[in-house]
Structure 1
Amino acid sequence: MVVELTVEQARRIAVRAQALEAERPGGVLDAIDRLTFVKVDPVSAIAPSADVVLWSRLGEAYDPAEVTAGLEVDRTLFELDLMVRPMDDLQIFRPMMRRWPKHERTRNWIEANDAFRRDILIRLSGSGPLPASEIPDTSAVPWSSTGWTNDRNVTIMLECLMMRGDVAMSARRDGQRLWDLAERVYPEVPELEASDAYVQRNERRLASLGILRERKAGGSPAEPIDTRGIGEPAHVEGLRGTWRVDPAALEHVDKPLAERTALLSPLDRLVFDRKRLEELFGYEYVLEMYKPRDQRRWGYWAMPILHGDRLIGKVDATADRAAGVLRVDAIHEDEPFTRDLVEAVFGELDSLAGWLGLEIGGRAVGLA
């Protein structure tokens, strides 16, 4: 049986799945467990994107040190491929690690550098955890690339070994990852069949997003989601094709959303899939940080504004830490803001500034 949904119901499912209702998650681990991961990204116009994602769920109570403690002390979290995940999910990634890599070029490079691989494991065994800068490059065949990874042999081999489950990121110091043997970072986890783990990974991903189109490789390139055969099939009123919905989300599909206003990172998973964003929310968004200044419509790091189950505008803001100011240069209204909406948006900006330890200022502050 195919579930029939209105667009409003589909939006409520998506917002609830991303923990953006008025009732906030119980803490950092609860938030990351519900999101399945937060992506580590170096761009920090406001703060690192992973921190903005967690602030938007937890508010001013969020302390980035809790993520560090989860990764380095409590080991309730782990980082894999620049994504911080709950350690409870390790078991569904272990079978994928055992089968990695899929690409012949990478597999051939690792095989050609088998002595280099063993050198790294021996050094980490005796001296780890270590940054890549303290590991000698004994590669026989350099890694070739037209990008920044060209000849960065130690870093590439460490990342390959991470994806294979041989090494793991143990900590970060001064922006560098410290690497160690995986057995000293990861706990023992139950062995799963690769097929079972594959299904569970996709079910977890669907639950974290609530509703997705039925397809083999949806979502972001870094986190593809195979929605075939998982969840419940659904049609969304006015949209073509079949969607897949998390079964647990259907239990509350007619329950009104506990609305709140939230400012989102441009890399937030609610908005990252631009096609889904336009279909379900009727919202146009492009990340303009790579565009020349005179070609930007909304700003370098414009933050989408969520109100209830609607995306209603963008905030062009940057953190000027030297001046001690959260600079709000523009607020773009995709629909006319009521006085209550203006107050709600500036309430979130005040919260963001307070969390950052900055004063709020800029050209758009007079709108409040």
Structure 2
Amino acid sequence: MVLERTGAVPESLRLADARRIAIAAQLRPKATRFKTVLERLGCIQLDTISAVRRAHELTLLARGLDVDEAVRSLERRRTPVAFEYWAHAMSLLPVSAWPYMARRRKAWRERYHTPDLAAAEADVIALLRERGAITVSDFPNGAMHRGNGSVTNMGDSWNFRTDHKRAVEHLLWYGDVACTDRIGGFKRVYQLAERAIPSEHLWDADDEECLRYMVSTALRNLGVGTTKDVADYFRLKIVDTERVLRELGVEQVAVEGWKARAWIDPQVRRTRLTGAERPVAVSMFDQLVWLRERMERLWGHGWKIEIYVPEPQRTFGYYCLPVFVGSDLPGRVALRRSNGDLVVEAAQWDDARADREYLHAAVERAASWVGAEVRWKAEVRGFDTAVAEV
């Protein structure tokens, strides 16, 4: 990597180097343990959709974990490794991050405390003290019950959360309750935080410590990014993020083609960047592509998630996975498991590249994650032609 300095002008960074920095910060050498990757990334997004595998598993698999280790990531452990909380979205966080979510827990309590749930919250606490660990199946009316046709705040006119379900979720936001593992069917196991979180991590950092932790973790995992990029990682306010970056004395650079100046992780100076050709498909819930405008600034693509778009209105496919090769993003593929096959519903590849074998290698690798055979339903198209209908 070559950085150019010209007098008082901020250092400049070639776009190709910014790409390599971003990849080096994320897709580092192969890891073998869930804990290692989680502590490195700071958080891993959760999502219920499993068109290929669940989102957190794909994040782990893209970073070199084997399938068994990725699948076991939500299992109960003698000493908890992770807890669930709101980070970029609902995510897994390392238990060592518990103190630094205190600012967010306080904000949730101040914003969402509702007296009408006091009785249900007391019921949940009593049940937890009696049984130690519970799921929503332990509630008298479960998690959801039939409505009378009225639309809830979730926009669902048929099913809505019972008071006990709402109460346990509020207690999770407040930090009174924690979830450190799940059981069959992706079902949360709830415990009192005092029982679930190891004692050495069961304390609250002050607001500034929390902000410094989240901003530093975000920058380390971006390598280089604008203030908005850094703020988006943990969904912080831009004004708070910029203040903390300045207080930390983080250096700024001008990245080729970017309008806003960027911040660069100090560790980048001591990192030898390589562009190893290692094709891998990542989910759209992966932190490499969380902020679509950042993806577009780095790689020229601003692809959107079309999971919630009606099929006739989709421009590509239901479950899009960008395919990275080294530090480049030459294409994408839409995959879905079906009857023992991994079906390729759509695929696009940069016409300027003559290396479509990388696309096929990424698809075959994804198929190994689900133990399936690849079935191509669509031909590979370039970016200057329409995507094949599926």
Give the deviation of 1:146 after TM superposition.
5.3
Query: Which of 351, 355, 358 is residue 372 of structure 2 equivalent to?
Result: 358
**Structure 2: 5+ residue stretches without partners:** 1-7, 142-150, 382-390
2:50 maps to 1:50: no
- CA separation of 1:132 and 1:326: change in aligned 2, threshold 3 A: same
Give deviations 1:59-82, integer Å, cap 9, x for gaps: 54553343024x543312222243
2:235 counterpart residue number: 223
Which residues of 2 match residues 1-368 of structure 1 at below 5 A? 2-18=10-26, 20-21=27-28, 23-58=29-64, 60=66, 63-69=69-75, 71-81=76-86, 82-103=90-111, 106-107=112-113, 109=114, 111-136=115-140, 145=153, 147-148=155-156, 150-175=160-185, 176-188=187-199, 189=201, 191-215=204-228, 218-219=231-232, 223-224=235-236, 226=238, 227-228=241-242, 229-230=244-245, 231-252=250-271, 255-320=273-338, 322=339, 324-338=340-354, 341-364=355-378
Note closer, same or farther for the CA distance 1:62–1:165 as it changes in structure 2 (3 Å cut). Answer: same
The amino acid that maps onto 1:299 is G
**1:269 partner SS:** coil
2:80/2:180 contact within 8 Å kept: no
Q: 1-side partners of 2:174 and 2:60: how far apart?
A: 28
Structural RMSD (CA): 2.9
Distance between the aligned counterparts of 2:210 and 2:32, measured in 1? 27
State how far apart, in whole Å, the 1-side matches of 2:313 and 2:161 are. Answer: 35
Residue 205 of structure 1 contacts residue 225 of structure 1 at CA under 8 Å; is this kept in 2? no
Q: SS in structure 2 opposite 1:271?
A: coil
Structure 2 match to 1:140: none
What percent of counterpart residues are identical? 25
| Contact kept in structure 1, 2:33 and 2:69, CA below 8 Å | no
Q: CA distance change for structure 1 residues 130 and 208 in 2, over 3 Å: closer, same or farther? A: same
SS in 1 for 2:210: helix
**Does 28-37 or 326-335 show the bigger shift?**
326-335
Q: Distance in 2 between matches of 1:240 and 1:308?
A: 25
Q: May I ask how many residue pairs the two structures share in their alignment?
A: 351
> What is the alpha-carbon distance in structure 1 between the residues aligned to residue 119 and residue 175 of structure 2?
18
SS class of match (1:272) = coil
CA distance in 1, matches of 2:369, 2:378: 20
- Taking structure 1 as the reference length, what is the TM-score of the superposition? 0.85
